[in-house]
């Protein structure tokens, strides 16, 4: 093998020693140029992948896991640069290889399945075209055979009716279908290593499972090594043989998946294992089975079931869909005859996949949408019948917390102004008492008073969500509707925010409606669970009942799809 | 796709009717009586005034006048000027040169604007990008007539590379300098739009994915960056075509081109309402057609729009 040649020399299969590492990263340092100098993102990371092996890098956002993966194929964003260490692929040093070498490596030797299926396909080209150019660029097929080759790639990726699908545009595909197409593209060049960067984090849990199963099946069949990048320890442990845990740019622990899960050595890994939501669900259960009372997370007993704070009765919401021709539209039942009530001081979780109608229910409850039929009764009054001033009062008592803490805070408002605004709008107190109240609220959500003068872009995701909670609490509401309030947060931050919400509930007697697709979160926070599917509530029971003896097949399916649910976790 | 085109074409009708009615109303509301002004200081005899009013339908109520005018448009009868020439002929004389000039300017700004913008976008923050940005700001800041006179003096008079004026029935070389002057400001905008759009698309996820697929740099730029970046540029160019046609008064004046801009200016001054309304109507039509083409191009560039 002539390593001195400027171009990458692909080795033929016989040369490949299955015992020699396919990818070897030694003491990798990656830094980003900023106005104040180089900011390190990866500090001395080590990683080895053997042919056909599956390895997962686990870590929270900012841990350097994606940066490490992108450094391998020289796709670091913006000002990122490899500042030290070596990356060897199939024995050849590619750390500072010229662009030509990477153009040959990418696709053909190392494939990539990116994170967000919504933004990773070019919206202006047909799916077939985007597959085709991959095949051509990597010399897999050409000329007349292209059409069949494209259809084969898509069919292998699990898309039915591939020939027809190839003629469609990305916006005609669902998220899961797009991700299948992207997996097809990633594998189209027959690479020896596939980098899967959070391949399913944007998808529903059941779709996620199907796609991961399919990916596993494809890569195992072809002997492709896989490098998973994920924040989800459960997913990593379930899908990879070997785990690498990264924290603040360093690899803090690595080893066989089972070993890391059962006997984590590094304190960070221990915390990660302890708070991984997908694993917690099992942990609580096992704690209960052993007859041990879990102190913080089990359902409380002080809930007054007789006086519900809110009742939803036969709620139906229809949307009009535009048809292909004028007048050919149809109505879509987003919410179909939904009834439930929430007891004062309790937490009810509304669970379902995207499109199940759970957010529509929340919007009707917040009186942001008008129901087609049925009604919502809050504190004995029908929400739809409120006069303008009553509505104003209603808004005060029911507050939302939304999913995206980056989008729900005005970037031009300081934190003080953000939290003070509802107080000012509702004319609560004087200027002085209001500023005292803001300090109090910040204290309640464990943020320093100094945070007042800062702006949202200076805070982390978890801190922003705390600000959103403080703002929601400002008016002393009775009911808080949390629409995917912790879905965008890293596991450790998620656990902190959930604990905070739990504490606040105990302290202030709040009632929560928790809208989420994540059953693992439900286990930690909810007293009651309503499982929604296609606009209907299919199962409504206490959290324990749902988790221990789900009645509906759909609920069981959802539970089984939680990554890591089949794993045994030790250390408890 | 067909439905989209059909709908866009149908939308032209109300826009056309609304625009012509608006123009007609405004010209109608202009102060002063053109007929009374025709006779100069002494004025025309009552009988003659009445005869002229009848000849031009000026004695009819407003709406009737408008409808008669609409009928005229559809039969290519735009009326006659006060000097007795057919308005249609007057317009027919002025338009070809203006159209030629506008398209040359459009081609100039589109080709160079997109090219320079693409390079600047790809090298954002580098020397080329900075230079181009400063130059484009200067072009936007300096009035057209300054650029026009300066170019005329240096390139036309001093260096003698290009003819200084266009004259009647100008050819490609005669119109080259006017077209560059006319398109210069728009070029600066096209350049900036393209640059921003390219720089933004470069960091799009699908561009990274395209690179990760193993495509060459050139292919990624042309197939995945440029096409997506052209969408806002095309919108600008379409709207600009109308502006280039109707707004070339200054450039036409500097280079002595007898085009639409000059004609419109003179007609407004002389209160030639038939000419003003007709010219403006044609310009409205040009705008509408240009925007229709933009919308169709838009749908061709971005498939999501076809179904929106």
pLDDT at residue A23 in the model: 92
Are A186 and A306 part of one and the same domain?
no
Contacts of B217 in chain A (CB under 8 A): 99, 103
DSSP state of A119: T
Under the banding of pLDDT at 50, 70 and 90, the label for residue A293 is very low
Pairwise CA distance, residues A350 & A522, whole Å: 9
Q: Which residue has the tokens 């956002």?
A: A61
Residue A288, pLDDT score: 37
Helix pair angle (A491-508, A277-289), 10° resolution: 60
In terms of domains, do B14 and B124 share one? no
pLDDT higher than threshold 70 for residue A357: yes
Apex CA A438: angle with CA A433 and CA A442, to 5°? Answer: 150
| Binding-site residues on chain A for chain B (CB distance < 8 A) | 73, 75, 77-78, 99, 103-108, 111-112, 114-116, 119-126, 130, 133-134, 137-138, 169, 171, 182, 185-186, 188-189
Domain with B60 in it: 1-75+271-307
pLDDT tops 80 at residue A569: no
Residue A67 and residue A141 share a domain: yes
Q: Which residue has the higher pLDDT, A212 or B2?
A: A212
Nearest to A54 by CA among A258, A190, A194: A194
Q: Do A119 and B212 touch (CB under 8 A)?
A: no
Residue A313 sits in the same domain as residue A214:
no
pLDDT band at B39 (very low <50, low <70, confident <90, very high): low
- Pick the range with the lowest mean pLDDT from A52-56, A64-68, A321-325, A537-541: A321-325
In this predicted model, what pLDDT tens digit does every residue of B208-257 receive, in sequence order?
999 999 999 999 999 999 988 988 898 888 888 878 887 677 888 888 88
Does A547 have pLDDT greater than 60?
yes
Task: For residue B197, list chain A residues with Cβ-Cβ distance below 8 A.
Answer: none
Which is it for strands A110-113 and A193-197: parallel, antiparallel or unpaired?
parallel
Q: Do B214 and A134 touch (CB under 8 A)?
A: yes
CA-based nearest distance B215→chain A, Å: 6
A105 shares its domain with A177: yes
Is B239 domain-assigned? Answer: yes
Cα dihedral sign for A155, A160, A164, A169?
Answer: negative
| Inter-chain CB proximity B214 and A116 less than 8 Å | no
pLDDT tens, residue by residue, B3-36: 777 887 888 888 888 888 888 888 777 766 666 6
Q: Mark whether A229 and A255 lie in a shared domain.
A: yes
Smallest Cβ–Cβ distance between A106 and the set B207, B211, B228 belongs to B211
Tell me whether residues B304 and A182 touch, CB distance under 8 A.
no
Q: Is there a domain that residue B134 lies in?
A: yes
pLDDT at A329 over 70: no
* Judgement on whether residues A194 and A314 belong to the same structural domain of the protein: no
What's the CATH code of the domain at B104? 1.10.3720.10
- Please indicate, yes or no, if residue A564 is contained in any of the structural domains: yes
Q: Indicate if A271 and A355 belong to the same structural domain.
A: no
- Quote the pLDDT of residue A307: 75
CA distance A247 to B204: 27
The domain that holds A486 is classified in CATH as 3.40.50.300
Task: Determine, yes or no, domain membership for A535.
Answer: yes
The answer to the question of residue A253 being in a domain is yes
Q: Residues A233, A306: one domain?
A: no
Same structural domain, B177 and B300: no
Q: Is B100 in the same domain as B149?
A: yes
pLDDT in tens, A381-402: 888 888 888 888 898 899 988 8
End-to-end CA distance of chain A: 51
Distance of alpha carbon B202 from alpha carbon B183, whole angstroms = 27
pLDDT, mean of residues A30-44: 84
> Shortest CB distance from A112 goes to which of B209, B227, B303?
B209
Q: What pLDDT is attached to residue B308?
A: 47
* For residue B52, pLDDT beyond 80: no
**What is the domain count for chain B?**
2
B99 and B246 housed in the same domain? yes
Count Cβ atoms below 10 Å from residue B26 Cβ, excluding itself. 12
Q: Smallest Cβ distance to A122: which of B203, B217, B224?
A: B224
Across the interface, of B205, B219, B304, the residue whose CB is closest to A116 is B205
The answer to whether the beta carbons of residues A523 and A168 sit under 8 Å apart is no
In a domain, A316, yes or no: yes
> What is the number of domains present in chain A?
2
The residue in chain A having the minimum alpha-carbon distance to the alpha carbon of residue B212 is: A106
Q: Closest CB to A108: pick one of B214, B219, B227.
A: B214
Dig out the tokens for B148 from the structure: 């026009």
Query: Does A58 lie in the same domain as A199?
Result: yes
CA angle B104, B105, B109 (to 5 degrees): 120
Claim to verify: residue B187 and residue B283 sit in the same structural domain: no
Residue A398 covered by a domain:
no
Measured between CA atoms, how close is A460 to chain B, in angstroms?
A: 22
- Regarding whether B240 and B115 lie in a shared domain, the answer is yes
Considering the domain architecture, whether residues B246 and B303 belong to the same structural domain is answered as no
Q: Could you tell me if residue B226 is inside a domain?
A: yes
Give the whole-angstrom CA distance, residue A389 versus residue A369.
18
**Residue-averaged pLDDT of chain A:** 83
Residues A280 and A246 in one domain: no
Q: Do B214 and A114 touch (CB under 8 A)?
A: no
Answer yes or no: is B264 within a domain: no
B114 plus B176 within the same structural domain: yes
Question: Which residues of chain A does B206 touch, with a Cβ-Cβ cutoff of 8 Å?
Answer: 119-123
Does residue B62 sit in the same domain as residue B136? no
A211, pLDDT greater than 60: yes
- Tell me, what's the pLDDT at A322? 65
Mean per-residue pLDDT, B280-293: 82
Sign of torsion over alpha carbons A285, A289, A294, A300:
positive
Q: Which residues of A touch B223 (CB under 8 A)?
A: 125, 133
Task: Write down the pLDDT at residue A3.
Answer: 43
Q: Are residues A245 and A306 in the same domain?
A: no
Chain B interface disruption, residue of A99, A122, A137, most B CBs within 10 A: A122
- Measured between beta carbons, the chain B residues lying within 8 angstroms of A71 are none
Query: What is the span of the domain harbouring residue A55?
Result: 23-275
Mean pLDDT of A427-444: 88
Nearest residue in chain B measured CA to CA from A197: B209
Query: For residue A137, which residues of chain B lie inside 8 Å, CB to CB?
Result: 213-216, 219
Same domain? For A241 and A346 the reply is: no
Task: Return the structure tokens found at A31.
Answer: 């830094």
Residue A497, pLDDT above cutoff 90: no
In a domain, A15, yes or no: no
Region B162-182: mean pLDDT is: 81
| pLDDT class of A1 with cuts at 50, 70, 90 | very low
Residues B111 and B239 occupy one common structural domain: yes
CB A531 within 8 A of CB A558: yes
Give the pLDDT of residue B51. 79
E runs forming strands in A35-79? 37-49, 54-58
CB within 8 Å: B304 and A73:
no
Whether A119 sits inside 8 A of B303 (CB atoms) is: no
Summarised one tens digit per residue, pLDDT across range A302-319 is 555 567 889 999 999 888
CB A222 within 8 A of CB A52: no
- Do B157 and B227 fall within a single domain? yes
Contact status, residue A21 vs residue A86, Cβ threshold 8 Å: no
Instruction: Give the largest Cα separation in chain B, rounded.
Output: 85
CA angle A469, A558, A55 (to 5 degrees): 85
Residues B140 and B191 in one domain: yes
Between residues A202 and A431, which one has the greater pLDDT? A431
Domain assignment of residue A29, yes or no: yes
Nearest to B210 among A116, A122, A189 (CB): A122
- Whether residue B84 lies inside any domain: the answer is no
ipTM: 0.75
Percent of chain A predicted with pLDDT > 70: 88
Q: How far is B205 from chain A (nearest CA, A)?
A: 5
Q: Is A559 in contact with A519 (CB distance < 8 Å)?
A: yes
Q: Which residue of A has its CA nearest to B206?
A: A120
Q: Does some domain include residue A148? A: yes
Chain B contact set for A121 (CB, 8 A): 206, 209
Picking from B120, B258, B123, B102, the residue whose alpha carbon sits closest to that of residue B193 is B120
């Amino acid at each position: 093998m002539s390593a001195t040649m400027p171009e990458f020399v692909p080795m033929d299969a016989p040369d490949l020693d299955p015992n020699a590492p396919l990818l070897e990263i030694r003491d990798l340092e990656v830094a980003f140029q900023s106005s104040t100098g180089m900011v390190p993102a990866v500090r001395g990371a080590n990683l080895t992948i053997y042919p056909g092996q599956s390895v997962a890098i686990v870590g929270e956002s900012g841990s350097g896991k994606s940066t490490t993966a992108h450094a391998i194929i020289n796709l670091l964003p913006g000002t990122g640069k490899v500042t030290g260490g070596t990356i060897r692929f199939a024995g050849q040093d590619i750390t500072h290889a010229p662009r030509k070498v990477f153009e040959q490596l990418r696709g053909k030797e190392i494939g990539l399945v990116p994170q967000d299926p919504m933004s990773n396909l070019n919206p202006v080209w047909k799916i077939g075209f985007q597959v085709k150019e991959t095949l051509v660029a990597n010399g897999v097929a050409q000329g007349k055979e292209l059409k069949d080759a494209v259809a084969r790639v898509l069919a292998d990726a699990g898309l039915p009716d591939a020939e027809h699908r190839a003629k469609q545009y990305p916006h005609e595909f669902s998220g899961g279908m797009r991700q299948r197409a992207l997996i097809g593209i990633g594998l189209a060049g027959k690479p020896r290593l596939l980098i899967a960067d959070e391949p399913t984090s944007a998808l529903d849990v059941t779709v996620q499972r199907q796609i991961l199963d399919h990916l596993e099946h494809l890569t195992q069949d072809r002997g492709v090594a896989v490098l998973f990048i994920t924040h989800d320890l459960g997913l990593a442990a379930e899908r990879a043989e070997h785990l690498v845990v990264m924290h603040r740019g360093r690899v803090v622990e690595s080893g066989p998946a089972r070993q890391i899960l059962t006997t984590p050595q590094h304190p960070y890994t221990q915390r990660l294992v302890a708070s991984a939501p997908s694993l917690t669900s099992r942990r609580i259960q096992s704690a209960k089975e052993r007859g041990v009372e879990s102190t913080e997370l089990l359902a409380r007993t002080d809930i007054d079931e007789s006086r519900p704070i809110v009742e939803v009765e036969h709620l139906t919401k229809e949307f009009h869909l535009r048809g292909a021709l004028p007048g050919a539209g149809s109505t879509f039942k987003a919410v179909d005859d939904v009834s439930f009530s929430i007891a004062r001081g309790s937490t009810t979780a509304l669970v379902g996949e995207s499109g199940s109608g759970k957010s529509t229910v929340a919007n009707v409850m917040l009186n942001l949408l008008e129901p087609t039929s049925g009604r919502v009764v809050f504190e004995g009054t029908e929400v739809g019948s409120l006069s303008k001033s009553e509505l104003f009062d209603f808004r005060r008592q029911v507050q939302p917390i939304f999913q995206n803490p980056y989008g729900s805070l005005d970037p031009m408002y300081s934190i003080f102004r953000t939290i003070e605004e509802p107080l000012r709008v509702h004319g609560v107190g004087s200027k002085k008492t209001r500023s005292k109240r803001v300090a109090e609220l910040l204290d309640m959500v464990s943020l320093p008073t100094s945070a007042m003068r800062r702006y949202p872009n200076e805070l982390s995701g978890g801190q922003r969500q705390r600000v959103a909670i403080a703002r929601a609490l400002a008016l002393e509401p009775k009911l808080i509707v949390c629409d995917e309030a912790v879905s965008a947060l890293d596991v450790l931050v998620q656990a902190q925010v959930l604990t905070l919400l739990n504490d606040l509930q105990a302290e202030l007697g709040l009632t929560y409606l928790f809208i989420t697709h994540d059953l693992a979160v439900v286990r930690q926070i909810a007293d009651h669970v309503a499982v929604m599917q296609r606009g209907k509530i299919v199962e409504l029971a206490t959290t324990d009942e749902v988790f221990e003896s789900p009645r509906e097949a759909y609920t069981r399916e959802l539970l089984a799809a939680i990554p890591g649910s089949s794993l045994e976790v030790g250390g408890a | 796709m067909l439905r989209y085109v059909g709908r866009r074409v149908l939308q032209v009708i109300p826009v056309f009717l609304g625009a012509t009615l608006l123009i007609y109303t405004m010209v109608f509301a202009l102060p002063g009586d053109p007929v009374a002004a025709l006779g100069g200081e002494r004025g025309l005899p009552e009988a003659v005034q009445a005869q002229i009013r009848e000849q031009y339908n000026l004695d009819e109520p407003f709406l009737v006048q408008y409808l008669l005018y609409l009928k005229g448009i559809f039969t290519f009868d735009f009326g006659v000027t006060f000097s007795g020439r057919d308005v249609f002929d007057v317009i027919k004389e002025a338009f070809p040169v203006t159209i030629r000039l506008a398209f040359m300017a459009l081609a100039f700004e589109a080709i160079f604007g997109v090219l320079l913008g693409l390079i600047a976008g790809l090298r954002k923050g580098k020397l080329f990008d900075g230079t181009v940005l400063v130059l484009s700001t200067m072009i936007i800041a300096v009035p057209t007539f300054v650029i026009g006179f300066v170019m005329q003096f240096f390139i036309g008079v001093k260096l003698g590379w290009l003819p200084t004026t266009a004259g009647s029935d100008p050819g490609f070389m005669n119109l080259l300098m006017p077209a560059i002057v006319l398109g210069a400001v728009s070029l600066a905008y096209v350049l900036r739009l393209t640059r921003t759009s390219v720089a933004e698309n470069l960091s799009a996820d699908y561009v990274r994915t395209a690179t990760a697929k193993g495509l060459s740099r050139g292919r990624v730029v042309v197939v995945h960056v440029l096409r997506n970046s052209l969408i806002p540029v095309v919108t600008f160019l379409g709207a600009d075509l109308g502006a280039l046609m109707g707004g070339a008064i200054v450039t036409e004046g500097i280079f002595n081109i007898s085009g639409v801009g000059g004609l419109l200016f003179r007609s407004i001054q002389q209160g030639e309402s038939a000419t003003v309304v007709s010219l403006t109507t044609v310009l409205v039509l040009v705008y509408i057609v240009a925007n229709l083409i933009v919308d169709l191009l838009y749908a061709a560039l971005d498939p999501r729009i076809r179904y929106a």
